[in-house]
Amino acid sequence: MVADSVDDVDFPALVPASLLPGRAAVRSGRWSRRRTVHRSGRDWLVDVLVFVLAAGLGGLFVYSALQSEEESATTLELVVDLALGGLSCCALWLRRRWPVGITVAIGLVVVVSASAVMASVVAVFTVAVHRRAKVLAGVITLHLCASVGYGLYRPSADSPVWVDLFFTTLILSVVAAWGMLVRARRQLVLSLRERAERAEATQRLRAEQARSAERARIAREMHDVLAHRITMVALHAGALEISSDLPSEQVGATAGVIRGAARQALEELREVIGVLRSDNRGGPETAPRVPQPTLADVSRLVAEARHAGLRVETSIDVKSPDTAPGSLGRDAYRIVQEALTNVGKHAPRVVATVSLVGRPGEGLRVLVSNELPAPALRTPLAFTAPSPSALAPSEPSASGLSASGLSPSRLSASGPGTSPASSTSASATEAVDPTVTPALPGAGAGLTGLAERVSLSGGTLTCGPTAEGTFVVDARLRWPR
């Protein structure tokens, strides 16, 4: 788990401020813009110890230098040396904010002040931690030159200039290596934190995608289960509303059909809700599914549509339907169900033709067509659902169009028996004649769901008005041997 704030860290006082959450450098292009960083408890402790150590060892350096010099220093020179050393030690409090500037200033002071030597070592270490190797090399070169300058300014009989230069080089090299090691470790920590944050963001994105897919599955199940039943209820109710002179026996029979369809819709809705609750408890892999229809149920579906008042003609030539996979029968049933539902919504007075032709190894073709009302003939458009990559891209669909034509989202632009360009005029025409049943509203997602379903099963779906004045839903499904 990545710490999102300082409060999530167990002991923030023991962590460098630059490594606390939310306080890392923010890079914009080639430049680095740093947020204001407040010292942690560890930083305060380190700064106090560094100041005391630099001041104490600086005093010892002054005493050692005065003892070994050929000429005794005057009181003024001693005061100036100690004053410059004290200022250098005080400047170390700002070394994290301006590491290069502070180190360069202390390097110039070292030329005339022995008490600033320890402060210069600490400053070089800070540059090694916070800056690149090129900058560090320049700073070290400056301090080596300062060491030579001090040897020439105050020559010592016991320690020649080249000896001071050797030891200075050795000390600064060790300090620089130590600082670069600390820098590498901090960069590793920050990179691991960034990687963990990206992983958490990716996980959240995948969870959101899974929730979206689950919502889409729920919507598809609800649509498949309820749309057909509710359409049949609406058709019977519309018939009762228009035909007010029906005999009481026929009215009662129709009311019974409506009651039965509504009860069946409620039962199927209860099954779907039960499955969804099981999914939430046991997960999608172990939860039971709603009892799915098969190829044998297509005849029952057509009979129900005829009983609801639709004129449906069938042509079924399916060899060995009992051997069809469950997914094939379910997809064929849903295609016919959605097509007949749309016929009942948009063109309840026309003749619909349902054709199923197929056999194992050759696939199954589901073709549902119906005549279009006159206003819909004005827009002869056709939409084609994409096929998966398993099929050849150049394989033609039933209408001669490539299966990789338009996106499935465009399938919801017009339902069977109507089109976007003609929906307004169709409604106006039907409003004039009170004997015509008005078109039922739809969500516009049925054909889109069919396109997704067929595409997932490895088939192709083509649907839309034709130049001959019919609306065609043509699906080709795989049927393995």
Ranges of H-type helices in 347-476: 423-432, 446-456
99-127 core/surface letters (b: 16 or more CB in 10 A; e: else) = bbebbbbbbbbbbbbbbbbbbbbbbbbbb
Judge whether 363 and 471 are in contact, CB under 8 Å: no
Q: How far apart are CA 443 and CA 263, in angstroms?
A: 22
CA atoms of 203 and 2, how far apart (whole Å):
13
Question: For the ranges 323-332, 354-363, 379-388, which has the lowest average pLDDT?
Answer: 379-388
What's the pLDDT at 475? 93
pLDDT score of 21: 54
Two tokens, residue 353: 């033709």
Domain boundaries, the chain: 6-203, 293-481
Beta strand extents in 11-86 (DSSP E only)? 26-28, 31-33
Q: Distance (Å, rounded) from C-alpha 279 to C-alpha 204? A: 20
In whole angstroms, give the CA distance from residue 194 to residue 401.
49
Mean pLDDT to the nearest integer, 370-398: 45
Pair 165, 74: CB distance under 8 Å: no
The pLDDT of residue 431 is above 50: no
Query: pLDDT for 86-104, tens place per residue?
Result: 898 888 888 888 889 998 9
pLDDT number for residue 205? 92
Q: What's the burial of 36, exposed, middle or buried (CB within 10 Å: 0-12/13-18/19+)?
A: exposed
How confident is the model over 372-387, as a mean pLDDT? 46
Residue 364's pLDDT band (boundaries 50, 70, 90)?
very high
Residue for token digits 């003939």? Answer: 377
Which whole number is the average pLDDT over 261-278?
72
210 CB contacts (<8 Å, ≥6 apart)?
A: none
Per-residue confidence at 354, pLDDT binned at 50, 70, 90? very high
Select the more confidently predicted residue: 216 or 126. Answer: 126
Distance CA 351, CA 274 (A): 37
Rounded to two decimals, what is the model's pTM?
0.46
The predicted pLDDT at position 66 comes to 63
**Most confident residue range from 226-230, 367-371, 432-436:** 367-371
Residue 246 confidence (pLDDT): 73
- Cα separation of 157 and 335, whole Å? 103
Render pLDDT for 174-209 as a digit per residue (tens, 0 to 9). Answer: 999 998 888 888 888 888 888 888 999 999 999 888
**Which residues lie closer than 8 Å to 187 by C-beta, 6 or more apart?**
none
- Residue pair 393/404 in contact by the 8 Å Cβ criterion: yes
The C-alpha atoms of residue 222 and residue 133 are separated, in whole angstroms, by: 64
Highest mean pLDDT: which of 215-219, 308-312, 421-425, 457-461?
457-461
Q: What is the pLDDT of residue 320?
A: 82
pLDDT value at 422 more than 80: no
Asked if the 293-481 domain carries CATH number 3.40.50.2300, the reply is no
- What confidence tens digit (pLDDT) does each residue in 119-174 have? 888 999 989 988 888 899 999 999 889 888 877 877 766 667 788 788 888 989 99
Q: How far is CA 346 from CA 25, 77, 117, 422, in A?
A: 62, 104, 92, 12
At 142, which amino acid appears?
L
Residue 216 confidence (pLDDT): 76
- State CA 259 to chain mean position distance: 45
Q: Which amino acid is at 109?
A: V
Sign of CA dihedral 222, 224, 226, 227: positive
Partner residues linked to 361 by β-bridges:
none
pLDDT for 321 equals: 83
Ranges of H-type helices in 69-98: 75-91
> Residue 312: beta bridge partners?
352
- Phi, psi (degrees; rounded to nearest 5) at 307: -65, -30
Q: Are the CB atoms for 376 and 422 separated by under 8 Å?
A: yes
Cβ neighbors of 14 (< 8 A, separation 6 or more) are 40, 41, 42
Q: What percent of the chain has pLDDT above 90? A: 9
Q: What is the pLDDT of residue 290?
A: 54
The CA distance from 97 to 335, in Å, is 69
In the numeric block, the tokens 């609801």 are attached to: 308
Q: Which of 42-56, 352-366, 416-430 has the lowest mean pLDDT?
A: 416-430
- Cβ partners under 8 Å of residue 233, min gap 6: 258, 261, 262, 265
Q: Please give the mean pLDDT across all residues of the chain.
A: 72
pLDDT of 377 over the 60 cut:
no
Q: What pLDDT band is residue 223 in, cutting at 50, 70 and 90?
A: confident
In terms of average pLDDT, the best of 116-130, 406-420, 445-459 is 116-130
Reported as a single tens digit per residue, the pLDDT across 28-65 is 334 344 455 566 777 788 888 888 888 888 777 777 76
pLDDT of residue 18: 57
172 to each of 115, 127, 155, 469, how far by Cα in Å? 17, 12, 21, 90
239 with 257: CB under 8 angstroms?
no
